Amino acid sequence: MSGQRQVFSEQQVAEIMQRAVQLHEESQGAASYTPGVTAEELERMAEEVGVDARFLRQAIEEASQPRPASDRTLKFVEEFHRVVEGELDPQNFDVLQDVYRPMQTRYGAGGVQIGRSFRSQAWTGWGAAEVNVSSRNGRTKINVRSGPFIAYFAGLHGPLILGIVGASILLGNGLIWPGIAVGVGLVGAGVAAFRWLLRKGHDAARSLADKLADRVEEEVAQPGGGD
């Protein structure tokens, strides 16, 4: 490969750009980065690589529509990003908690604000989510991160322990098939409950990201709501 021009696949480009943005946001030069890409910027990028604008518009429309749950791969952790045109004044970050219930953490229930960034733990109704908001360079970026913690303890932990203990007792008494049936049944039920609760938690986090974006849009549209 030495001396040859390196060519990246579309999947690699998406992963590289996401990682580059993450590194930039975590660096000391984060203040110079403007989050989000406009439709016009996307069109210019598509034109440079030879993608027909018709297909770009179709892809944008499809991306804006929620996919059925059956079409989505279930992941332990999901992140949902939204970017709003306009900067939410950091003095007004507290209005974000109008749309969710903050969770108590070691930092308190109100979240933590550092400069033009805000972090909080939210209860979505189906699980816990981490909310990160940054406001700079004319835009407000929202990131909602949903994890498996609540789904595990509410759905899988109990059946897993009961299945192991119950199966051990039955197997210890020579009841092999009943022991296997109890263990597999309880653990299987726990896994099903865990998957259901995890998907519900991710869906609720996605909805929270949309609600936060709507709330930011409302606030920056008001006089004095944005910078």
Q: Are 224 and 91 in contact (CB under 8 A)?
A: no
pLDDT at 1 (0 to 100): 47
Tens of pLDDT, residue by residue over 183-219, are: 999 999 999 999 999 999 999 999 999 999 999 999 9
CATH of 66-227, one of 3.90.550, 3.30.1330, 2.60.120, 3.30.530: 3.30.530
Report the alpha-carbon angle 16-59-145, nearest 5.
55
Largest Cα–Cα distance of the chain, in whole Å? Answer: 75
DSSP of 149-191: HHHIIIIIHHHHHHHHHHHHHHHHTT-HHHHHHHHHHHHHHHH
pTM greater than 0.75: yes
Domain residue ranges of the chain, discontinuous segments joined by +: 66-227
Tens of pLDDT, residue by residue over 53-86, are: 888 888 878 777 766 655 567 899 999 999 999 9
Tens of pLDDT, residue by residue over 128-159, are: 999 999 998 889 999 999 999 999 999 999 99
| 44 — pLDDT class (breaks 50, 70, 90) | confident
Tokens of 192: 């099903």
For 113, residues 6+ apart whose C-beta sits below 8 A from its C-beta are 90, 93, 119
Paired residues of 135 in beta bridges: 140
